[in-house]
């Protein structure tokens, strides 16, 4: 029920996935009077779906604490997550309130043993191939142990999606030199250097331009920086698209040239379309939850569902557990000469 175009776009997106993945099954949680008539338009989807009626729907502007009090055990968002906990569903997907979804998912599914705090991972297009970037905003001011956790989680996701048994991991920093950066980043780098080979290969520090280059398979950062990087990249993509559109319409010759380059321009447009990589994955929980962009359409929801399908098929939770078993757990201590970092309120 969450998002600007729900529930119609959600249901249409599910139908698009079903056309490609005939064995997919769906449980729609929400107001039955809104959902059931829309499913009638897709007989194949109706046969592969069930509807669970929920009176309570979490608003997009509700605070996480309020949403948790109001919707625990009764809302469509909670019931979708509960279905994962109960083993009825492999993945829960929502286009609703991000803070509420994270609060409910954490409360219901609980963090995995050995993971201090969950993070949000995004699939990022690069010049080389798609990569994993996390955290996208779940934790502000992550410490060294949380950064190490994200490396474990991100490498497991990369193994699932990219079929790479030892993906490369980089820590986002202000430079590649070992002496640069916050103490938490340098300490995380030391631990990952010693653990390299436990399900991933540690590359070292990477800078902002390395994200777009695809220098590594997994880029690890804390949520404040990660969220700004994501929003900056999305805004830059829209800016470049507008510049290109204006340039192609600037003169008669430009318009004629655009006609000859139409196939290439369409390929570029598809590559830059954020709907094709829609879906932030909540990592580190005892179950898979995906946050879809609330403003996306059926193409975006279909992309999020495809991502969910691949993670379930590739046994993401099992791969995280396998990586953690191979990872040499060590206590994270601040450098002797460093001041303890202040924790956010």
Does pLDDT of 148 surpass 70? yes
pLDDT in tens, 90-136: 999 999 999 999 999 999 999 988 888 889 999 998 888 899 999 99
Please indicate, yes or no, whether residues 48 and 173 belong to a single structural domain of this protein.
no
What's the CA gap between 102 and 78, in Å, rounded? 11
Domain-embedded: residue 302? no
Whole-number pLDDT of residue 328: 61
Total residues found in the chain within this entry: 345
Please indicate, yes or no, whether residues 102 and 123 belong to a single structural domain of this protein.
no
pLDDT in tens, 277-300: 888 999 999 999 999 988 899 999
pLDDT in tens, 206-240: 999 999 999 999 999 999 999 899 888 888 888 88
CATH number assigned to the domain comprising residue 227? 3.40.718.10
Please indicate, yes or no, whether residues 243 and 324 belong to a single structural domain of this protein.
yes
Please indicate, yes or no, whether residues 4 and 105 belong to a single structural domain of this protein.
yes
pLDDT in tens, 60-101: 889 988 899 888 889 999 999 999 999 999 999 999 999 999
Please indicate, yes or no, whether residues 105 and 130 belong to a single structural domain of this protein.
no
Please indicate, yes or no, whether residues 78 and 15 belong to a single structural domain of this protein.
yes
* Domain, as residue range, for 197: 119-280+315-329
pLDDT band with cut points at 50, 70 and 90 for residue 338:
very low
Please indicate, yes or no, whether residues 153 and 229 belong to a single structural domain of this protein.
yes
Q: What does each C-alpha distance from 121 to 18, 35, 292 come to in angstroms?
A: 25, 29, 12
Please indicate, yes or no, whether residues 138 and 270 belong to a single structural domain of this protein.
yes
Domain-embedded: residue 197? yes
pLDDT band with cut points at 50, 70 and 90 for residue 56:
very high
Please indicate, yes or no, whether residues 141 and 224 belong to a single structural domain of this protein.
yes
Please indicate, yes or no, whether residues 163 and 232 belong to a single structural domain of this protein.
yes
Domains contained in the chain, number: 2
What's the CA gap between 103 and 138, in Å, rounded? 10
Whole-number pLDDT of residue 40: 94
Domain-embedded: residue 181? yes
What's the CA gap between 127 and 297, in Å, rounded? 26
pLDDT over 70 for what percent of the chain? 94
Please indicate, yes or no, whether residues 149 and 226 belong to a single structural domain of this protein.
yes
Does pLDDT of 337 surpass 60? no
CB atoms within 10 A of CB 334: 14
Whole-number pLDDT of residue 76: 95
Please indicate, yes or no, whether residues 89 and 125 belong to a single structural domain of this protein.
no
Domain-embedded: residue 292? no
Query: Which among 59, 80, 109 is the end of a domain?
Result: 109
Domain-embedded: residue 306? no
């Amino acid at each position: 029920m969450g998002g600007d175009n729900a529930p119609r776009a959600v249901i249409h997106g599910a139908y698009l996935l079903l056309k490609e993945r005939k064995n997919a099954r769906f449980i729609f949680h929400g107001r039955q009077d809104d959902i059931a008539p829309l499913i009638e338009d897709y007989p194949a989807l109706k046969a592969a779906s069930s509807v669970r009626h929920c009176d309570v729907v979490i608003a997009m502007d509700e605070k996480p604490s309020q949403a948790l009090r109001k919707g625990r055990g009764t809302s469509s968002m909670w019931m979708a997550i509960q279905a994962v906990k109960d083993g009825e569903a492999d993945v829960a997907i929502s286009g609703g309130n991000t803070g509420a979804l994270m609060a409910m998912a954490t409360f219901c599914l609980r963090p995995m043993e050995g993971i201090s705090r969950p993070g949000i991972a995004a699939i990022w297009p690069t010049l080389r191939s798609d990569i994993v970037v996390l955290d996208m905003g779940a934790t502000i001011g992550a410490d060294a142990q949380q950064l190490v956790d994200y490396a474990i989680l991100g490498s497991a996701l990369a193994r699932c999606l990219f079929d790479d048994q030892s993906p490369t991991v980089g820590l986002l920093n202000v430079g590649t030199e070992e002496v640069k950066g916050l103490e938490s980043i340098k300490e995380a780098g030391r631990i990952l250097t010693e653990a390299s080979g436990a399900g991933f290969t540690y590359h070292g520090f990477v800078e902002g331009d390395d994200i777009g280059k695809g220098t590594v398979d997994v880029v690890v950062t804390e949520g404040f920086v990660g969220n700004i990087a994501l929003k900056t990249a999305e805004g830059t993509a829209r800016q470049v698209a507008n510049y290109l559109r204006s340039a192609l319409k600037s003169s008669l010759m430009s318009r004629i040239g655009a006609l000859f380059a139409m196939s290439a321009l369409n390929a570029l447009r598809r590559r830059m379309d954020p709907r094709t990589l829609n879906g932030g994955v909540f990592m580190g929980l005892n179950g898979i939850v995906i946050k879809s962009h609330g403003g996306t359409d059926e193409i975006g929801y279909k992309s999020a569902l495809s991502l969910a399908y691949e993670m379930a098929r590739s046994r993401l939770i099992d791969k995280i557990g396998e990586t953690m078993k191979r990872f040499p757990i060590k206590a994270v201590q601040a450098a002797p000469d460093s001041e303890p970092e202040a924790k956010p309120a």
